[in-house]
């Protein structure tokens, strides 16, 4: 029954949306410098969802959006899903700048697709959650692409575990050490450059401060996962200490991948929390 419902939803995407795929956002463009735009029919000045896929910064694709484009379209959003270059082909800072470059393209061009360039909501799952949080907090990346944080009206990172890199690295390595196990050979320490200064700099919590136009946050996480729960609470606490609106929501009876896949299903608790967060920010009453 669930499979049939999802199939119907995916079929509806093609029928009810204007879909433009593989749009280059850089010049010259690498093969992964592309994004997809899903617009409702007759779209004009609609709020925009900018989605960043996960995959451990090493895999994943902009097509990994499940039913999100249809659901957001039905609620009056233009939905954008972006690719970016991946580890180990580029360093982490280059990868982050790819995402910022894509966001810059959206800010400059989304009005041609019915979107409002001054109402962008940045979201992402897993590795994409870290990228979403960092782009919305460390304003150096967005500003380099001509995007002021003031146009980012909300951020929804979904089940990330790397908002505070030193904390997650220490946690993972301590866990291995106390159990007499070898340290991970390909973990966050290596992915983020194996340099403590970089770990601090790539942590969203490092850059939280008042007066930067950091948008409101809804931080979704799996309540039964100790690492993503701790990281979500850590990010939420730092934002709240800086008087930035932040809601931390732990989804029950779900998993890392299921939480993401279920976003958009009408009876999904995290989806209800998501639109409870979004509706006041865009003026929706439903």
Mean pLDDT of all residues in 219-245: 98
pLDDT at 28: 94
pLDDT at 8: 46
Predicted confidence band of residue 187 (pLDDT cuts 50, 70, 90):
confident
Rounded CA-CA distance 227/256 in Å is 11
Q: Is a pLDDT exceeding 70 seen at residue 285?
A: no
Least-confidence region, from 21-35, 61-75, 172-186: 172-186
pLDDT at 42: 95
Rounded CA-CA distance 243/148 in Å is 19
Alpha carbon 58 to its chain's center: 16
Predicted confidence band of residue 17 (pLDDT cuts 50, 70, 90):
confident
Rounded CA-CA distance 105/221 in Å is 29
Q: Give the β-pairing of 46-52 and 78-82.
A: parallel
Whether 264 contacts 271, CB under 8 Å: yes
Mean pLDDT of all residues in 90-119: 98
On whether residue 185 sits in a domain, the answer given is: no
pLDDT at 70: 96
Q: Is a pLDDT exceeding 70 seen at residue 2?
A: no
pLDDT at 186: 78
Domain limits at 112? 2-164+203-282
Mean pLDDT of all residues in 164-180: 94
Q: Is a pLDDT exceeding 90 seen at residue 76?
A: yes
On whether residue 30 sits in a domain, the answer given is: yes
Listed residue (191, 156, 177, 174) closest to 227, CA to CA = 174
Alpha carbon 130 to its chain's center: 7
DSSP element (H, E) containing 243: none
Q: Identify which has the larger pLDDT, 175 or 110.
A: 110
Whether 112 contacts 45, CB under 8 Å: no
Q: Give the β-pairing of 46-52 and 246-251.
A: unpaired
pLDDT at 284: 65
On whether residue 223 sits in a domain, the answer given is: yes
How many domains does the chain divide into? 1
Alpha carbon 251 to its chain's center: 17
pLDDT at 283: 80
Predicted confidence band of residue 147 (pLDDT cuts 50, 70, 90):
very high
Predicted confidence band of residue 138 (pLDDT cuts 50, 70, 90):
very high
Q: Is a pLDDT exceeding 80 seen at residue 256?
A: yes
Predicted confidence band of residue 10 (pLDDT cuts 50, 70, 90):
very low
On whether residue 173 sits in a domain, the answer given is: no
On whether residue 51 sits in a domain, the answer given is: yes
On whether residue 50 sits in a domain, the answer given is: yes
On whether residue 182 sits in a domain, the answer given is: no
Mean pLDDT of all residues in 266-284: 94
pLDDT in tens, 19-48: 999 999 999 999 999 999 999 999 999 999
Mean pLDDT of all residues in 97-105: 98
Alpha carbon 62 to its chain's center: 12
CATH at residue 44: 3.40.50.1820
Whether 160 contacts 225, CB under 8 Å: no
Rounded CA-CA distance 9/69 in Å is 10
Whether 30 contacts 85, CB under 8 Å: yes
On whether residue 172 sits in a domain, the answer given is: no
């Amino acid at each position: 029954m669930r499979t049939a419902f999802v199939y119907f939803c995916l079929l509806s995407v093609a029928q009810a949306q204007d879909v433009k795929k593989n749009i280059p956002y850089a010049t010259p463009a690498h093969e992964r410098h592309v994004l997809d735009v899903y617009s409702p029919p007759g779209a004009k000045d609609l709020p925009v969802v900018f989605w960043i896929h996960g995959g451990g910064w090493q895999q994943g694709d902009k097509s990994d959006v499940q039913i999100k484009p249809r659901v957001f379209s039905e609620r009056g959003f233009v939905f954008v899903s972006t690719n970016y270059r991946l580890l180990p082909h580029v360093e982490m800072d280059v990868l982050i700048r790819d995402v910022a470059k894509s966001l810059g393209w959206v800010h400059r061009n989304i009005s041609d697709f019915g979107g409002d360039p001054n109402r962008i909501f940045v979201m992402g799952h897993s590795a994409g959650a870290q990228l979403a949080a960092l782009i919305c907090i460390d304003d150096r990346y967005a500003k380099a692409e001509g995007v002021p944080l003031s146009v980012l009206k909300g951020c929804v990172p979904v089940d990330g575990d790397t908002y505070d890199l030193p904390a997650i690295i220490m946690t993972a390595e301590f866990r291995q050490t106390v159990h007499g196990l070898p340290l991970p050979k390909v973990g966050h320490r290596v992915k983020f450059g194996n340099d403590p200064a970089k770990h601090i700099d790539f942590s969203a919590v490092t850059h939280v401060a008042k007066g930067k136009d950091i948008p409101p946050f809804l931080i979704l996480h799996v309540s039964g996962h100790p690492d993503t729960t701790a990281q979500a609470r850590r990010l939420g606490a730092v934002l709240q200490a800086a008087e930035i609106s932040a809601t931390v929501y732990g989804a029950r009876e779900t998993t890392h991948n299921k939480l993401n896949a279920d976003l958009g299903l009408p009876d999904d608790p995290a989806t209800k929390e998501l639109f409870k967060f979004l509706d006041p920010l865009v003026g929706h009453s439903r």
